[in-house]
Amino acid sequence: MTRSPLHDEHVALGATLVDFAGWDMPVRYSGDVAEHLAVRTAAGLFDISHMGEIAIRGADAAAGLDAAVVSGMERLAIGRAKYTMLCTPGGGVIDDLIVYRRDWDHFLIVANAANVETVTAELVERFSAFDATVENITAEVSLIAVQGPKAVGIVAAMCAAGADDVRALKNYTWCTVLLQGDVHAMVARTGYTGEDGFELFVVPADAVEVWRLALALGESEGLIPCGLSARDTLRLEAGMPLYGHELTLATTPYDAGLSWVVQTGAARVLQRPGIDGAVSMSAEPVARGDFVGREALAAAKERAVATEADPASAPEEARILVGLVGSPGRAARAGFAVLMDGRRVGIVSSGAPSPTLGVPVAMAMVHPLAAVVGTVLDVDVRGRSETMTVTALPLYSRAS
């Protein structure tokens, strides 16, 4: 089993460690609810070094990515990031990714831990006709997240240089900073909790120093270390999909309510830098070229539009993602059957008690007829029926 560079820190803090995608990772420290609520009200510190990192470098890096994933990448500016998906030719999701543009010819991709080898191999194949390299660099990166309403102040305080750049970051942008202790870091305003937050990319040799710095500077702000269990309930409340649950090879982005991820239209494309290093945009919009899964996803879009107009026209096996909110009682869990009028209409993809809302919540893949907001459904919780109401996602949104 692979250990994070922070493994000994977790042991010293009394964390419960579990096998997660082949990594020995902390599932909790002080307790799931306390950790969850700390992120909602103050700040939480997460070791997410199990996430996979892939570097794309070369003259055709942007063009190759544009052909490989479902979102346009040639127009992505340096210093920005984009959420996207790698899909099969049939439109199924291989993994959901965040892509960071480091330079005009250099991208960093963050993939799910269980999928990084599959994603790397798929990208190597898809880049075979492009002048660019694909390299799994997971072993060269440690990833630490500071999440919560007080995250910006904590991360800014960690900086020896670049604090103003951190404060100025917008969502899905990044900058490089010098942290206290002469540690270089890439800091991105991204996260998986539904709160404001940052993810810090550092080399493994610096991970312990950065972790301890965050704990020391964040203690007075209420920051505590948080495990993967709290991260899961946080993302569930925020309606964020988890691969293997809401996203699978059998689901398309449209099934998961993520149609906005698929980009097929025209865009002004970033040009390569000139002699002076400047990067310009093309004068006229350029139609995006072909990408793997485009034809199947176009058909999926047509089905989604038709289903939205007339849910009764959807085939029996059709499923779309919804949120569910229950009353105090036993929580629905992944794999539990969802029923309407006694007939099975879907399955829970994720479920847990909500520390923020105080009731059981879930996401489920259900037939479009059962997906109307306000519809009352039953979930078979180990042989007992629990009533839950279809609710728009996300189930929780932070105050802006």
Binding site as annotated, residues: 199
Q: Which residue has the tokens 């009028």?
A: 341
Q: In terms of DSSP H, where are the helices of 180-288?
A: 207-218, 228-237
Q: What gap in Å lies between CA 9 and CA 6, rounded to an integer?
A: 5
H or E element in which residue 47 lies: strand 43-47
- For 90, the token pair is 């049939």
Q: What is the CB neighbour count within 10 angstroms for residue 125?
A: 12
Q: Which residue has the tokens 């939480």?
A: 44
Answer for the pair 324, 364: CB distance below 8 angstroms, yes or no. Answer: yes
Annotated binding site for substrate: 199
- For 234, the token pair is 């946080």
What residues have CB less than 8 Å from 400, skipping those under 6 apart?
A: none
In 3-state terms the chain splits into helix, strand, coil percentages (rounded to 5) of 25, 35, 40
In 349-363, which positions are buried (b, 16+ CB within 10 angstroms) versus exposed (e)? bbbbbbbbeeebbbb
Answer for the pair 360, 237: CB distance below 8 angstroms, yes or no. Answer: no
Answer for the pair 246, 350: CB distance below 8 angstroms, yes or no. Answer: yes
Answer for the pair 249, 91: CB distance below 8 angstroms, yes or no. Answer: no
Q: What gap in Å lies between CA 336 and CA 326, rounded to an integer?
A: 14
What residues have CB less than 8 Å from 383, skipping those under 6 apart?
A: none
